[in-house]
Structure formats: C-alpha cells, structure tokens
Amino acid sequence: MQRGNYRTPGCSYCHLHGGDHGDTMAPARGPEVRQWICTGCHSPRYIREQFANGKRQLEIADLKLTEGKALIDSADNVPPDALLKLRQGLSHHRQNILLGVGHQSPDYQWWYGQPALDGDLIRIRDAITESHRRKTLARPIQSDPHATKSIKRERQ
C-alpha cells in the first residue's frame, strides 16, 4: 500500500493480494490466509476479535436459516413459488451477513442481515398460518342435526 500511497485498501488489496489472481479471501483458502492478509493493516488482537464476532454472527444467522428451512419443509398447501421465494430470501440475507462481517459493514450485518432474517421467519410463519386458514375455510361445514333442532326449538 505504501508504493501507491493509498489511504485505505481497495478491493484488490485483500481479494487479489500480492498479485494473486485467484480470490485470496475465498473460503477454500482457509481462515489463516484471510488472517494473514488482515495483519497487513490490523493488529492480531483486532483480527481475533473481528473473526470471533463474525463467527458468532454467522452462527446466529445459521440458526435462523435452519429454523426457516425447517418451517418451509413442513409447510403444506403453500404455493411452491412462494416457498421458493421465501427460501431465496433466507439465503440472500444470510449472505448479506457474511459480506457484512467480511467487509466490516454494520449495515449489511444489522440492517440487511439479522433483522432481514427475522423478517423472513415472520413471513414464513405468516404464509404457513395463511395456508392453514385457507385450508380450514375451504372445508365444507358439517351440519349437526342436534344443533339444528335446538335452534328451531329456541325460535318457537
């Protein structure tokens, strides 16, 4: 960074570090490579804390993702296209958390990430509740012959 006299690193500093044309931040490279790249600008303690925070953020997101997928898998009578859209929302918002953690972007962690996942869970539950309600309303009403006689007596 000194050679270019940059004030802050650009995308390529981290993702194409040292002229490596593969993504140096790719998960397949492992956390050690990412930590090594981060030490170019940050202290080891800061890196440890940020990685630990990121791990916690993703664990919480994965719990929400698991819950949402289980709800979707248990859903019946919900249109398949609605289920697909709900599943895609979960994956998209989990990805936002990953990006927010990796780029230190609170917006992506806390606006487009965790609360968005919470909203996804609410929408999934609402879709399931709505399908159960519609299913109940679609059933023919069974008349009770005893109740009909009772009502006729009360009117007389």
Q: Quick one: CA torsion of 92, 97, 103, 104, rounded to 10 degrees?
A: 150
Provide, rounded to the nearest whole percent, the portion of the chain with pLDDT above 90: 43
Eight-class DSSP state of 140: P
62 in the same domain as 122: yes
Count how many domains the chain has: 2
141 versus 30: which is more confidently predicted?
A: 30
| 88, part of any domain | yes
User: pTM to 2 decimals?
Assistant: 0.76
Q: What is the pLDDT of residue 72?
A: 93
Q: What is the pLDDT of residue 1?
A: 47
What tokens does 156 get?
Answer: 């007389």
Do 113 and 93 meet the contact criterion of CB atoms below 8 Å apart? Answer: yes
Q: Show the domain range for 19.
A: 1-41
| 12, part of any domain | yes
| 150, part of any domain | no
CA dist 99 and 102 (Å) reads 5
CB half-sphere exposure, 85, CA atoms < 13 A: 8
- The residue whose two tokens read 């879709």 is 127
| 51, part of any domain | yes
Q: pLDDT tens across 85-138, in order?
A: 999 999 999 999 999 998 888 888 888 899 999 999 999 999 999 988 888 887
